[in-house]
Structure 1
Amino acid sequence: MNRRKTTRVAARLRLIVGVAVIGLLCNANAWAQTTTTTTTKHHHKTVTTTTVVASTSEQQRLDALSGQVNNLQKQTDDTTSEVKKIEAAMTVAQPAASASPVTIGQHVGLAETNIAAIQKNLSDNLGISVHALVDAGYEHNFNQPNGNVNNIRVFDEDGFQLTQGNLHIERDGTVGFVTDLNFGQVANTLSTATHYSNIGTGVGNQWFDPTQYYLTYTAPIGSGISFQAGRFVTLLGAETINTYNNLNFNESKSIIFGFGIPFTHTGIRASYTFNDYVSFTGGLNNGWDDPAAANNGGPNYEGELTLNNKDKSLSLALNGIWGPNLVGKSDSNLGAVDPVATWKPSFVPNLTLQTEYLYASESGPVANGHSGTWSGLAQYLVYDWTPSFESATRGEFFDDADGARTGTSQTLWEITQTLSYKVPEVTGLLARLEYRHDNSSQNYFTNNNFVSPVTGTQHLWHGQDTLDANFIYAF
């Protein structure tokens, strides 16, 4: 119960009762009064005398109303007393050092104190910080697909779902580490991603995925070279796997994120910031989505060059990766370039424009016995109407010319509208409502039609529409 809300309710109740009492008294006086007027003329002067007389019956009514007023006042006093008791019970305060918690508020206060002490101890003595998020909600696919599968989607399906649970643990300092443990649909998708494409990406039976776990070291060279060694998310893409401090603009992920680029890598990286305008990250890894076998002919090379102006209202991230990914075929290389431009125009406060372009190809027998290429373009328009309310529109095209990524030679497009609302008085709670339409040049999307017993196939549709409502709590 919110103490301030309870106090406001009590105050309003007292005000209403007071107004009612005044009204009753005024009416009672009016009922109880009878007026007699006598006019006398004497020496050209007129004298008027008014006498107020209360009849016996009106006096009785006045006494009865006074009794009712006294009863209402007693009820008001009783209500005020109960409100004060509830406020005292809900007061978030820990008990005295020698006493045990009794009220709900004391239990809550003691728990908050203990948690704060643990966090402070970890931070002060070990430099460790712990964060988490939970993303859960309901999504309705108007195709009502058999099996609740949303085609060309990652991290979401039709129906109620735990989209993501994330536990983020890190240690800052010269030597540190970062760990991201994921649960729910995010873990399902990441654990079932294939080596070369995301055709098989979907809901699996793995509800846990250690998405990131890497060591960090900052070498005292220049402004400091930051090294990472272990498993980490890819440099590519405008979107990334959610963490407590990065929830992305939209609830659902783009086609480029799900099918155009890798999710994670295992390897080493080094980052260096030259000045306020230029920084660079380069690394070596085992390839896209960590192939199980390491004998794929050599490492993959990745890099990111970031350019921005002084206030970072305009930035450009040039991302790329290249290297072998077919086991035992060092001459089959998979590569992608993925520049992302972000602009926050000064003449339109609270507006963010972001553009992503992707071009990728893989040589070798990966698509119907030959090489495959794919490309994509995504545009984001984000506006913060108030500090609590944001709208984000994403429009996107994805061309899988050879079917190397989706299993079908097709051109896809989608448009997504997301509304995000920061729930007041609850720090870290975000409510989201999202509508999305996906469309393909081919009949690609499943629905609730049964498989034909004659042909053994299901009639597919060109598009699908979904409506999604989620709550995200991050701390």
Structure 2
Amino acid sequence: MNRRKTTRVAARLYLIAGVAVIALLCNANAWAADPSTADPATTTTTTTTKHHHHMATTTTTTVVANTSEQQRLDALSGQVGNLQKQTDDTTSEVKKIEAAMTVAVPATAGAKPATIGEHVGLVEKDVSDIKKDLSDNLGISVHALVDAGYEHNFNQPINNINAIRVFDEDGFQLNQGNLHIERDGTVGFVTDLNFGQVANTISAATRYSNVAGVGNQWFDPTQYYLTYTAPIGSGISFQAGRFVTLLGAETINTYNNLNYNESKSIIFGFGIPFTHTGIRASYTFNDYVAFTGGLNNGWDDPATANNGGPNYEGELTVNNKDKTLSLALNGIWGPNLVGPTGLGKSDSNLGAVDPVATWKPSFIPNLTLQTEYLYASESGPVVNGHAATWQGLAQYLVYDINPSLESATRAEFFDDEDGARTGTAQTLWEITQTLSYKIPEVTGLLARLEYRHDNSSQNYFFNNNSLYTNGVFTGQHLWHGQDTLDANFIYAF
């Protein structure tokens, strides 16, 4: 009996000890969940439930956002909403600008244009209507171009003069305005009227016909000649009047030939003539061979109207069927100076040969390679009583990156060994890189960016350093080279 009581007492003591241990553990959980040390955004609640014969403990954790955190979340949400609204507004404005720049005539006939695009579209339509009327009623086509921009010469030359350049100068400039009018048919004509730097240069270097040189001016009737197609074979095309030379890889810009580079080569400016006055005949034998021959009064500015006889010019063109490979062999020869007697019988004959080869390799699409070589000489007396010779070589590498963007690189050397063309016996070279971009929004609008470096074996290029002797201006300091950067817009139709 006493043993049983002892056992019961021991069991009760064990039970009491167990309850005490459980209570201590519950208190430890409560201390761990003390609000002063817990995450301010969470709340932990412990509930102890007493059942018959045992006790159960339940712990519940409730997440409650802190007031300051909720405010920050609300503010951030508002900022995101504002940003989205601003993005939507910007997208809407961009669409409005794009719509305003889209070239199109007003939707309603007779309505006034309300956007820039509608103004341009209406002008294009008016010009197109005039051209159509002239073409339909008179068979006359009218085209034009304007070339304007800004060029910076890093030498900063006095008077903005770019040495060995013919159509450009330092600063803002109107390079060229051109009006091209022609009539096709059995009997027709071609007229090219130029304005700006192009006209200024050509008028100073050439004669309109046989009359005296006209000097510097901002207008020049560069071409004006009659055409007649004789019904012989495939048709012999005759020209009579003033026309640009057959020589050269480059020519004076027209609406359908803007050349690869913005600036002109040294060969174009100093190695060959600009224009001639005379007659020509052209005949295409087949898909592979064509020939042009003519007689004229000589190079740009013959010394007299009677210079001892005509000059002879010719061009033989040979190409393959698809014209990916072609060779144009150009030449001219004839008297160009008055002899010592002054009777008009020339003692000097001037001749030049200027082959131009063009290759468009099929294995590199959109690539054009063109090479020009010039050799020219003039019998004496030209320089110090003796003859003169000059020659040049130009290489063009042209790549159409895409239908709108073209890269054109020109490398060239020019040897004026007697100084007959540039006024100084020297060897010149230049390299030019041009990027041309067709503005997609406006048909016929072209943007050009060009860098060019010129170099000479002599100190030949101007800069802004003046030379003085005893306080008197005696000239400019000259350098071996010059660098220019040119940005231009050309609009042609």
TM over 0.5: yes
In the TM superposition, what whole-angstrom CA distance separates every residue of 1:76-106 from its partner, at most 9, and x where no partner exists? 9999999999999999555877x66485688
In the TM superposition, what whole-angstrom CA distance separates every residue of 1:80-139 from its partner, at most 9, and x where no partner exists? 999999999999555877x66485688766655443332211111111111111111111
> Residue 134 of structure 1 corresponds to which residue in structure 2?
146
> Residue 279 of structure 1 corresponds to which residue in structure 2?
290
Decide whether the 8 Å contact of 1:359 with 1:376 is kept in 2.
yes
Q: How far apart in 2 are the matches of 1:87 and 1:469?
A: 25
Shift of 1:250: 0.8
Q: How far apart in 1 are the matches of 2:439 and 2:101?
A: 21
Q: How far apart in 1 are the matches of 2:161 and 2:87?
A: 58
Matched, 1:468 2:479: no
Q: How far apart in 2 are the matches of 1:159 and 1:208?
A: 20
> Residue 12 of structure 2 corresponds to which residue in structure 1?
none
Matched, 1:351 2:375: no
> Residue 66 of structure 1 corresponds to which residue in structure 2?
none
Matched, 1:121 2:133: yes
Decide whether the 8 Å contact of 1:423 with 1:429 is kept in 2.
yes
Q: How far apart in 2 are the matches of 1:440 and 1:389?
A: 32
Matched, 1:295 2:309: no
Shift of 1:361: 0.8
Decide whether the 8 Å contact of 2:336 with 2:348 is kept in 1.
yes
SS at match of 2:277: strand
In the TM superposition, what whole-angstrom CA distance separates every residue of 1:10-56 from its partner, at most 9, and x where no partner exists? xxxxxxxxxxxxxxxxxxxxxxxxxxxxxxxxxxxxxxxxxxxxxxx
- The partner residue of 1:402 within 402, 409, 418 is 418
Question: What is the TM-score normalised by the length of structure 2?
Answer: 0.76
Q: How far apart in 1 are the matches of 2:118 and 2:366?
A: 42
Q: How far apart in 2 are the matches of 1:164 and 1:471?
A: 11
Decide whether the 8 Å contact of 1:95 with 1:101 is kept in 2.
no
Pair 87,166 (structure 1): closer, same or farther in 2 beyond 3 Å: closer
> Residue 459 of structure 2 corresponds to which residue in structure 1?
443
The range that moved more, 456-465 or 136-145, is 456-465
> Residue 156 of structure 1 corresponds to which residue in structure 2?
168
> Residue 14 of structure 2 corresponds to which residue in structure 1?
none
Q: How far apart in 2 are the matches of 1:420 and 1:264?
A: 27
Decide whether the 8 Å contact of 2:347 with 2:381 is kept in 1.
no
Q: How far apart in 1 are the matches of 2:173 and 2:120?
A: 29
Letter matched to residue 248 of structure 1: N
Decide whether the 8 Å contact of 1:250 with 1:392 is kept in 2.
yes
> Residue 179 of structure 2 corresponds to which residue in structure 1?
167
Q: How far apart in 1 are the matches of 2:98 and 2:88?
A: 15
Decide whether the 8 Å contact of 2:303 with 2:336 is kept in 1.
no
Letter matched to residue 143 of structure 1: N
Q: How far apart in 1 are the matches of 2:155 and 2:347?
A: 43
Shift of 1:331: 3.0
Q: How far apart in 2 are the matches of 1:459 and 1:207?
A: 30
Shift of 1:390: 1.2
- The partner residue of 1:187 within 194, 199, 206 is 199
> Residue 459 of structure 1 corresponds to which residue in structure 2?
477
SS at match of 2:130: helix
> Residue 308 of structure 1 corresponds to which residue in structure 2?
319
Decide whether the 8 Å contact of 2:105 with 2:113 is kept in 1.
no
Shift of 1:474: 1.0
> Residue 381 of structure 1 corresponds to which residue in structure 2?
397
Aligned residues: 428
Q: How far apart in 1 are the matches of 2:254 and 2:113?
A: 37
Q: How far apart in 1 are the matches of 2:96 and 2:411?
A: 55
- The partner residue of 1:260 within 264, 271, 274 is 271
Q: How far apart in 2 are the matches of 1:261 and 1:237?
A: 7
SS at match of 2:467: coil
Decide whether the 8 Å contact of 1:393 with 1:416 is kept in 2.
yes
Q: How far apart in 2 are the matches of 1:225 and 1:317?
A: 19
In the TM superposition, what whole-angstrom CA distance separates every residue of 1:437-468 from its partner, at most 9, and x where no partner exists? 11111111111111323582433111111111
SS at match of 2:133: helix
Decide whether the 8 Å contact of 2:392 with 2:412 is kept in 1.
yes
Shift of 1:469: 1.0
Q: How far apart in 2 are the matches of 1:102 and 1:154?
A: 41
The range that moved more, 387-396 or 260-269, is 387-396
Aligned-pair Cα RMSD in Å: 3.9
Q: How far apart in 2 are the matches of 1:341 and 1:77?
A: 56
Matches of residues 355-434 of structure 1 in structure 2 within 5 Å?
355-434=371-450
Q: How far apart in 1 are the matches of 2:251 and 2:151?
A: 21
SS at match of 1:470: strand
Pair 321,84 (structure 1): closer, same or farther in 2 beyond 3 Å: closer
In the TM superposition, what whole-angstrom CA distance separates every residue of 1:232-288 from its partner, at most 9, and x where no partner exists? 000000000011111111111111000000000000000000001100000000110
Pair 443,115 (structure 1): closer, same or farther in 2 beyond 3 Å: closer
Pair 83,305 (structure 1): closer, same or farther in 2 beyond 3 Å: closer
Pair 471,332 (structure 1): closer, same or farther in 2 beyond 3 Å: same
Letter matched to residue 131 of structure 2: Q
SS at match of 2:132: helix
Matched, 1:243 2:261: no
- The partner residue of 1:211 within 222, 239, 258 is 222
Structure 1, unpaired ranges of 5+? 1-70, 196-200
Pair member with larger Rg: 2
Shift of 1:420: 1.2
Structure 2, unpaired ranges of 5+? 1-81, 208-212, 339-343
Q: How far apart in 2 are the matches of 1:154 and 1:426?
A: 29
SS at match of 1:393: strand
Shift of 1:297: 0.6
